[in-house]
A and B are shown apart, each in its own frame.
Chain A
Amino acid sequence: MAVIIEQPDAPRSRKGAQWEKRAWIFMRISGFILVFMIIGHLSVNLVLPEHGVKAIDFAFVAGKWASPFWQVYDGILLWLALIHGTNGMRTLVNDYSEREWLRKTLNITLWVVAATLIVLGTLVITTFDPCIDPNVHNYLPDLVCKA
């Protein structure tokens, strides 16, 4: 199958060019922010706790999300990382898929997965309820749970 390589200076629709330019700029802005946020994320969850990854459990998450700071932090991380990752995958799909139907199918799948996980993740952070753990007062003694 012949691969058609378009001329770099071939005219393209103004709308299409705008979209690609914005996606390109987004990758650099989000990437720059993600460098710091991911290093912060890894430090706080994996490196600094006394037992590292072994310290992570429901109580650890409940303790973090008791603070609005970490709710917002993890929410921003979720949105930025997933959109950055999905757009990166879109670039690869556009580069390597030779069949147009496959390219379209993969790209639609990527954005459906991204939208689903962004909605899911955002709901998990915003509706998280530590009171579903009967032992919650062992680690969050001041928490008030509805009976």
Chain B
Amino acid sequence: MAKRPAGTLYRGKLGMWTWVLHRITGVGIYFFLLVHILDTALVRVSPEAYNSVVASYKTEIIGIAEIGLVAAILFHAFNGIRIILIDYWRKGAKYQHQMFWIVLAIWVILMAGFVPRQLMHIFGA
């Protein structure tokens, strides 16, 4: 049986699913950004207003949600670099799958550093 072509860049397999994930993480980060600009704007209102709202970021539930936020940001960031390389590097499209595994490796390493640190901050004394 003849070997089937690996599909085009964004149609099927890794190319498509990373594209989907890039969009989903992007939307999530966008809505957090809106909230984050508004909460930071409270420093212009009063120290009490800012401190009381930022206190909600220090709760256990939001602290854990922040791990999801950082996970989304790190994927979007390094997959974005992969997209730029696919677009501009001569061999980018050829190595798009290998580049995905590099993205995943960087993501795992950075998350392995971040998650324990964040859990210590949230649950630590």
Contact = CB atoms under 8 A, between A and B. Distances in A.
A56 to B, nearest CB: 6
A99 interface: no
Interface residues of B, number: 39
Contacts, number: 99
Mostly helix, strand, loop or mixed at chain B's interface? helix
Contacts of A102: none
B99 to A, nearest CB: 14
Interface in A112-127: 113, 117, 120-121, 123-124, 127
A68 B66 CA distance: 28
Contacts of A58: 43, 47, 50-51
B77 A35 contact: yes
Contacts of A89: 26-27, 30
Mostly helix, strand, loop or mixed at chain A's interface? helix
Interface of B: 23, 26-27, 29-30, 33-34, 37-38, 40-41, 43-44, 46-47, 50-51, 54, 57-58, 63, 66, 70, 73, 77-78, 80-81, 83-84, 87-88, 114, 117-118, 120-122, 124
For the complex of A and B, the 5 pairs showing the least CB-CB separation, nearest first, are A52-B121, A58-B47, A85-B30, A133-B47, A35-B77
